[in-house]
Amino acid sequence: MVAPDRSRLLKRLCLAVLLVILLAACAPVKPPAAAPEATAKIKVGVQPFIGYAPFFIAQDAGYFARHGIEAELIESKSSDEIVTQLMQGDLDMANFAITPGFFNGVAKGGTAKAVLGGSRWDPNQCAPSGLVALPQQAAQLKDPANWKGIKIGTDPVGLQSMYGLFVAGVLKQQGLTLADIETVRLPPAATIDALESGAINVAQVNEPWLTRVKDKTGAILVVGTPEIAPNGQLTMIGFSPRLLQDSELGKRAAAAFLEAVKQYGEGSANAQNVEIFAKYTKLEPALVKQICWPAMPLDGIANLDSVAAFQAWAVAQGLQDRVLEQSEYWDGRFVGE
pLDDT for 86-114, tens place per residue?
999 999 999 999 999 999 999 999 999 99
Residue 159 pLDDT > 50: yes
Q: Which fold has domain 129-228?
A: D-Maltodextrin-Binding Protein; domain 2 (3.40.190)
Asked, colleague to colleague, whether 40-121+232-334 and 129-228 share their fold, the answer is: yes
Does 40-121+232-334 carry CATH code 3.30.465.10? no
Range with lowest mean pLDDT among 54-63, 151-160, 225-234: 151-160
Residue ranges per structural domain of the chain: 40-121+232-334, 129-228
Residue 28 pLDDT > 70: no
The strand order across the sheet containing 220-224 reads 182-185, 151-154, 202-206, 129-133, 220-224
pLDDT of residue 26: 45
Convert the pLDDT of each residue in 181-225 to its tens digit.
999 999 989 999 999 999 999 999 999 999 999 999 999 999 999
Here the contacts of 258-261 (C-beta below 8 Å, separation 24 or greater) are 258/116, 258/298, 258/299, 258/300, 258/336, 259/58, 259/63, 259/66, 260/54, 260/55, 260/57, 260/58, 260/61, 260/63, 261/54, 261/296, 261/297, 261/298, 261/300
Residue 287 pLDDT > 70: yes
Entry pTM: 0.86
- The more confident residue out of 312 and 17 is 312
Convert the pLDDT of each residue in 230-239 to its tens digit.
999 999 999 9
Backbone angles phi, psi at 165, to 5 degrees: -65, -35
Instruction: Specify the DSSP class assigned to residue 49.
Output: S
The angle subtended at Cα 165 by Cα 266 and Cα 125, nearest 5°, is 20
**Helix intervals (H) in the chain:** 4-26, 53-60, 63-66, 79-88, 100-107, 135-140, 162-173, 191-197, 209-217, 225-228, 241-245, 247-264, 271-281, 285-290, 304-316, 326-329
CA distance 179 to 167: 12
